[in-house]
Amino acid sequence: MNKQPQIQEQTRQNLRDAFWQIYKQKSIENISIREITDLAGYNRSTFYLYYNDIYELRDQIEEIVLDALQERIASVMTALPVSGNALEMMVDLYLSHGDYLYHFLETDPSFRTKWKNRISHIRPSWFHAPDGWQTDVAFEASFSMIIGAFSYWYENQESISAEDFILFLRKLLSDGILKVWQNEP
């Protein structure tokens, strides 16, 4: 592989794009390397210059997405609570990476854990909760709730505006779920 780095990276990107188009429609077990290379416009041998198998390709995409999420979440966490737009930043995150997030969360049970592990150590300067099981439970509950809420919104964004979603989520986070369920002012 003595090709120029730009050509190599473009080939990797083309293979990733082709794989992703197929992966959104088929389980990984039902995808062949031939399908990927045909769609990307390469020979099977080209695939093997870059990847050992389809799982390595999927894992590389997952790592790229997790790296981007970790970087973005770190900036969101740093902005809180000074910035009132942390939820807007999360909406942007879902708009830019939602296709990957939604699909990985639906098809790969380990993705949620990998994502959580990547961000669980992020403790911004304004975060003053002591370490301990209560903080761990609060993190687990908030992470699950936020991921679930954003996944629901991503599925239904044609009928729920980002603004309405952010207002509701902000109310849910500030008032608590019981107050929202009881519809208290």
User: How do residues 62-98 score in pLDDT, each as one tens digit?
Assistant: 999 999 888 887 776 666 554 456 778 778 888 888 8
Q: Over the stretch 14-69, which tens digit does the pLDDT of each residue have?
A: 999 999 999 999 999 999 999 999 999 999 999 999 999 999 999 999 999 999 88
Mean pLDDT value across the chain? 85
Tokens matching residue 141: 């509950």
- Give this prediction's pTM: 0.79
Selection from 108, 95, 115, 96 nearest residue 24 by Cα: 108
Backbone phi, then psi, for 176, in 5-degree steps? Answer: 95, 155
Q: Over the stretch 106-141, which tens digit does the pLDDT of each residue have?
A: 888 899 899 888 877 766 555 666 777 887 887 788
Q: Is pLDDT of 178 > 50? A: yes
pLDDT score of 134: 81
CA diameter of the chain: 66
